Amino acid sequence: MKGHFLLLFLLVNVGAQNSLEKLREKIAALKRENDEFQESLDMIAANLNNQSSKCEKESKQKEPVHDDEQFEDRLTALEERLTAIKNFLTNGKKSDADLRSKSREVINDMKGKVIKVDETIEELRSNVAKSLEGFENEIEEVKKIANIIVNSEGTVMYGHVGSACTTFGQECTDDQSECRSGRCQCLPGLSYNLHKRKCVASCDMYGSTYQVVSKKIIRGHNNIHLNSTNLAKCKTACETASEFQCRSIDYFSEWKQCFMSEKVVSDVPDDSWEYNKEGIHLQRDCA
């Protein structure tokens, strides 16, 4: 589609240039004709002056009584010549006026065509720009939906958060995600926003899915502690807590203990984020 627009743009531009070149040639020819016509007028005027002077001189030298017939013939010939010159000048002026009128028509017609060509070119540019913008938007939408990247080897990788991955495969495409426990997850301290399709620091509302980190816990920042419970009940308690906004869970399956907190990894000191082989840390995603 982009190629068609560019081809049409080139054809229109070449046509406009050819038309302008022909107009320049016509104007040059008109100028040459006008110069030649002016030279002819100058020659006729000079000849007329010479004939008039000669006639006047001869009429003074001869007696009119003896040369009446010859003088009448000369006068008639001169009148005929003057009439011919007058007709020539009149026709020349008319031809010149017609030529000028046609030249103006051609020039105005070419101006109109140039304006139309400019409008067509501008429309083509606008259409191409809109098409490119539309393609870019579609590409961005596809990227948001598929969340794909192309690695240095040219391999397309579909590494959105939640997709399967291998620890050393580098399939996870979000720059705030990493491969943990066989799937792409947000970095510790971040929640996943499905609507924005990216990892975020906080949510307006929290849902019922979690980013999970095995063998890590937050120590010393808990709001509620439950004993003798399973992970499903621990999640339900976190999601239904009303006295605080539960954002993370530390669960110990060996002891069936649940610790709920309004804090996440990014809210606590580094020494509070510690290794524990029996524990599992869960951070709530956005609703």
- Give the rounded distance of the alpha carbon of 206 from its chain centre: 40
Model confidence, pTM: 0.48
Residues 6+ apart with CB under 8 A from 174: 147, 159, 160, 161, 184, 186, 198, 199
Tell me the per-residue pLDDT of 9-24, one tens digit each, with 9 for 90 and over.
555 455 556 666 776 7
Q: How far apart are CA 30 and CA 134, in angstroms?
A: 51
Which of the residues in the chain have pLDDT under 50? 2, 5-6, 12, 63-66, 144-157
CATH H-level superfamily of 208-286: Hepatocyte Growth Factor (3.50.4.10)
